[in-house]
Structure formats: structure tokens, C-alpha cells
A and B are shown apart, each in its own frame.
Chain A
């Protein structure tokens, strides 16, 4: 038996300042993040939820319908406990622009923002979204702590981007950092600098071959754009690295907790296993696993096999007893009994699905002993309002 993930203890602990929800795409990660934020706010915490790419109706339920990078209050929540809830949607490009403006001199910043290479990097570089989500988290944390006596927020809930490879957001700061520090970027930057640097002489032949090859491959224009971009960015290298390191430290901080969200399907659980192992490797504080959308039957006392057998027995009885006076359908079964049979067959199918979900979840837990787990039952429809989110919150808390 796996320990139970105690969500209320997690969000009720004032030491918990950041909760990061991660998981594969399509498992309901954003819903879990939003429900968690709502529950924390209604229990008295001042919460901001950072969503990356929410489904339209979920966003509407939180009141964030515009992608404007600004936390906005979620209205009509229960504030009896003194909490508050803000929500925001990440605007990746704008966040990147802000970083540039914060770290480069005004004239340099302008030059960077206008560069076509920058424009492409800031809107489509594989990993930009992950990096900017973490950057935004850092900003929110700073903003939260600006006034220690009256912190604007005391809990930040982050929904991570639906990464292609599971934990890209962990690697993003490092990757961007090492890119900016990389030898190649130095080479690219060098010709744009007057005089270059002495150590480059050693590499001159190699550099020429490389730049010639790059020119052949990418075309001269692109190389020039890249060089201008890198030269302009050079002034803010230090700032970038520092921030990347800072964000990474924030993630492994004792005030941060990770929640891995999975669905009871083979692939989603396989992905979840990878997440759990990876977080462990990186020394990131894992709070536990949420198995979302677990199918449950409303009549657990009746097994699938018994329900099917009962449906068949009803057939036998009805077809055998010709003296039955009630109206009969084509199969010789009365209408009301046909409904009972349908209920039993429906139950059998659903009990089988529920059983499969249970055994998948069990197998995962057996393979990862000691990881606190909680199951959230599948709702019969998509969640698109606060009532629905509240219900998910209750399920998360095991109620």
C-alpha cells in the first residue's frame, strides 16, 4: 500500500511556496494545477497560478481569456478564509522581451528586439517556452517577496509546458546557458567584433572552415543576422547565466514541491515513471503522484462477472416464464427488465475499465514504492467552471 499524498497538508504548509505540476500532454495537468490553486486560495492562501497553454474553457473558468502575461484576480471564489487567487497565461515572446530589456542597455535592447534571428528564437526556439515558464516563475517569486510584510502571493502553482521530452523545462535554463557560453557562439560572435580575440588565432583555420560551411548551409544573410544577434546578446550573457542558475536553484529549493500528474494509461504512466526517476536524479523535491481520471463505478459491490451473469439469468427467467403479463420486447423480455439488463451490462463494461485502471495504477505504485499517491476519479464531462475545479480539489484532498 502506497502512502497517500496529503494535498491539504502540502498546500496548508506555509513553507510550501511553489508547487510545480508536471506530466505528459493530455493527462489533465492544467486542470490539476488550477484545482490545487483554487483549493489553496479557498483555504486561505494568497495564490497565483501560472498556466502555459490552457484549454479555452478551463481558461474561461479562471477568467484568463487573454494571453497578456499579467496575473489577474479570479473572481467569485470563496474568500472567507482570507485567501486570494490570481491566474495568468504565459506569453513566451513578451517574457523573453522583458528579460532582454532588463539586462541590456536600452540601445542594445532595441537592436536585439529588432533582429530577425532574435524574433525567431523568441517565438519558436525549441525550449523557449520551457525556459520562459521558469523565467516567469522566478519573476513571480521575486514579485511575491517584494514586500515581506505583505507578500502579494504566498503560493505559486506552475503548470509546466507540454514538453516533447518529459522534463525539458529542467534542462532549458542549462541548455540556454551552455549555448550562450558555447564555443560556437563565440566563434560566430568573433568576426563581428573589431579585432577579435587572441585565442581565436589558434582556431583560425578551423573557424574559417566552419564559417564557410555555415555560410554555404544557411546563406550569408542568416549568418550575418546570427552574428549581430550574438554580438548584441554578448552584453547580457552574465545576466542570462545568473538567472538560469537562480531558477534552477529555486526549483530544488526546500520551498518547492513537484507533483507528477498521470492518467491511468500505459503510456502516461510510463512517462510518469520517467518523470519520477528524473526528478529524483536531479534532487528535486517530489511531493507525490496524482493519478488523474481514474474510472470508478458507483456500485463497487457488484463484480463485472456477477453483473453479466445476472443479465443472462434474467433472460432465462423471462423467456421461460410465459405467464408473465407485462409488456414484452422482441426478445421476449419485458421492457423494465430489458432496462435492468442494460444497467447490468453497462456496469460490467465499466467495472472492467475501472479494474484495468486500478491494476495499472497498482503496478506503477509497486514499481515506485514509497511515493505518495492520490487518485482523482474521472468526471463524466470536461471541467469548465469553478464548481468543477472545486470538485477536483476535493478529490485531490481525498474527499
Chain B
């Protein structure tokens, strides 16, 4: 989509209300999730950005105070848009859930006292994931006014972005139904898992994968997409992060890769501008060019693998100053220009 042609409804993911963002560790998945939230919040919308691993990655990215299990505004976007942040805590989610559906009162306190809450949130397998996603599910469905119901009632959030676990664990994390299937065959945990699964597999949800143009992250992206498809999760786009500009022309790259750049020409040019053309500097520059050519060739291979996935692909530049709150805005604008939000 051409930059500047974006209207309110004209993006690649119209109708999606939950954007799940995953990626290999170190690919910048939190950064991308943050940029996407900010991008979605443009044009005056309200967006929730949630993390589930208690890493405080969101607050560090936006340079705000650590997030709690209460939603807090962390950024403003264009035309009055707002991004809220939430660090989902399994324990708080369980207590809230118990309070909402069971009005447990004294039993709630006792559960806590006897260690049942710890048990359910850290030890009982699958239950933890159901609780974490359950909180996100609740936020996606929440209405602005407490008692408002029906399709006409305004949503509390226009979109929710989930900074999900890394690629290696994401399919299992999202496949909550399977996780609890053998354990809780009936009962509220089971029906909660069923409703969550229905939403996750609906057109309201997409799972985006963040990668770098390197072999391992790309391989994990391919694997994760296959795993997500196998469990019936809707695969969204691929975000290629930290793309560095190619400084050498294709021709120069080829010459560099063959180590065929003329040493003498480079040395002569350097002398013309009074750079000391020592062997160390000339050889160093040539070595850098060769390494660069090698890396560009590998990146090219990686890009081919990504193209073969045939998913909408977005490219984010490597920010020379590192990622801070301003950098996130720059990345958000890039995502908007490329039609992701």
C-alpha cells in the first residue's frame, strides 16, 4: 500500500482486534509490539499493550515507571490516541477472575492463605497460560460502559497488542485448549479455555512474527509459522526488524565479495584526501567491505526464505541511536506507511 493513502479503515489488518507479537529472543519483539501499539493508536484510537512474562519490557521501552496489573497510560498518539500498558500477572488475574465470577469472599482469602493461588498460578500446568491469556481476552471484549452490551456498545479498547512469549513457546502458549484438555475436562477453567480459543482462532486475532535477516531467527520464524498453522492459529505478518541499509552498490558488493577491489586505487584515493593510507587502514577497509558483502549475501538468502512464506512483510530500519521512546515513534510511522496499522 502506498504511504499516505491510509484511511481509517484501509490497513492490512482491518477488523483485527488482537495482535499477538512473537519472535526469537533478541529480535526486538517487545520493540515491535510497542511500535505496533503506537501505530494502531493513531487517529485517536485507544490501544492496550500487554506483556505476560513479567519482564517489564514495555515500561523499559517507553521509559515509564514499572507496570502493574492495573492498566496505565504510557503514551499519546496522533489525534488524541492513547496507548495503555499492562503487565499481566497470573495471580492477580486469578483473584480477579474468582471475584468476578464466583464472589468467593472468604474462600478467596483462604485459597491464598493455603497456597492454592500459588499452586494454580505457578504449578498447575496450563492453568497459568489460561489465566494470562484470559486477562487479555477480557480486555479485548471489555465494553466502555460496564453494563453496555450488544454489538453497538463501544469497546474499551479499539485494539489490543500482546507481547507474547518467544517463538519457541508461542504455539503452546496460545493453544490453551489443548494444554488443559486432559486435565480439566469440565468446569469453568475448561469453558474459559474454550471461549479464549474461539476468539484466538477467529478473524479478530492475528499472530505476527518478528525476525532479523539472520539464519537462526528466520528458521525459527518458519518453524513458528508451521506450528501456529498446525494448531489453527491465524498467522499475521512477518516483521523484519533492524534492517541495515546497504551502502555498497550491487556492483561494488560483487567486487568486494571476490576480494577484487584494487588496493592501489583505494590507497591512491586515500592519499588524495590526506588520509594516512597505511597497510592496516587499506587492508582493514577492504576486509570490512568483504565482510559486509558476505553479510549482505546471507541477508539476501534470509530474505528469500521470508518471501517464500508469502505473508505480508514489513521492514523496520536499524536505529543508529538505539531504541528509545522517540525511536519507537519512528518505527510506528514506518509501520503505518507500510500498511500494518
Contact = CB atoms under 8 A, between A and B. Distances in A.
Contact of A213 (B102, B113, B270, B323): B102
B79 interface: no
B114 A183 contact: yes
B288 interface: yes
Given A117-B183, A270-B60, A339-B265, A125 B125 contact: yes
B255 interface: yes
Interface stretch (B8-16, B133-141, B291-299): B291-299
B29 to A, nearest CB: 10
B215 A382 contact: yes
Nearest to B265: A336
A349 to B, nearest CB: 6
B269 A214 contact: no
Interface string A207-246: 1011011111111111001100000000000000000000
Interface string A109-133: 0000000110111011111000000
A126 B125 CA distance: 7
Given A120-B182, A185-B119, A302-B281, A337 B188 contact: no
A150 interface: no
Interface string B78-122: 000000000000000000001000101011101101111011101
A109 to B, nearest CB: 20
Interface string B248-292: 110010010000011001100110110110101111111111011
Give the contact-size bracket for chain A.
35 or more
Contact of A217 (B27, B55, B98, B128): B98
A134 interface: no
Contacts of A298: 283-285, 287-288, 291
Nearest to A187: B114
A170 interface: no
Contact of B125 (A121, A309, A345): A121
B186 A124 contact: no
Contact of A266 (B25, B127, B248, B322): B322
Interface in B234-258: 244-245, 247-249, 252, 255
A127 B127 CA distance: 14
25 contacts: A55-B216, A124-B172, A164-B55, A182-B115, A184-B115, A184-B118, A206-B113, A207-B114, A209-B106, A217-B102, A219-B185, A226-B124, A300-B284, A306-B275, A307-B275, A313-B272, A314-B269, A317-B273, A342-B247, A342-B252, A343-B266, A347-B284, A352-B320, A353-B320, A381-B215
B123 A337 contact: no
A340 B123 contact: no
B312 interface: no
A162 B168 CA distance: 10
A380 to B, nearest CB: 4
A10 interface: no
B66 interface: no
A297 B294 contact: no
B55 A125 contact: no
B289 A346 contact: yes
A301 B60 contact: no
Of listed A57, A299, A338, A381, residue having the most chain B CB within 10 A: A299
Nearest to A300: B284
Contacts of B3: none
B285 A347 contact: yes
B110 A210 contact: yes
Contact of B184 (A126, A218, A347, A356): A218
B188 A213 contact: no
Contacts of A273: none
B42 interface: no
B265 A213 contact: no
B117 to A, nearest CB: 9
A259 interface: no
A381 B278 CA distance: 28
Contact of A210 (B116, B286, B323): B116
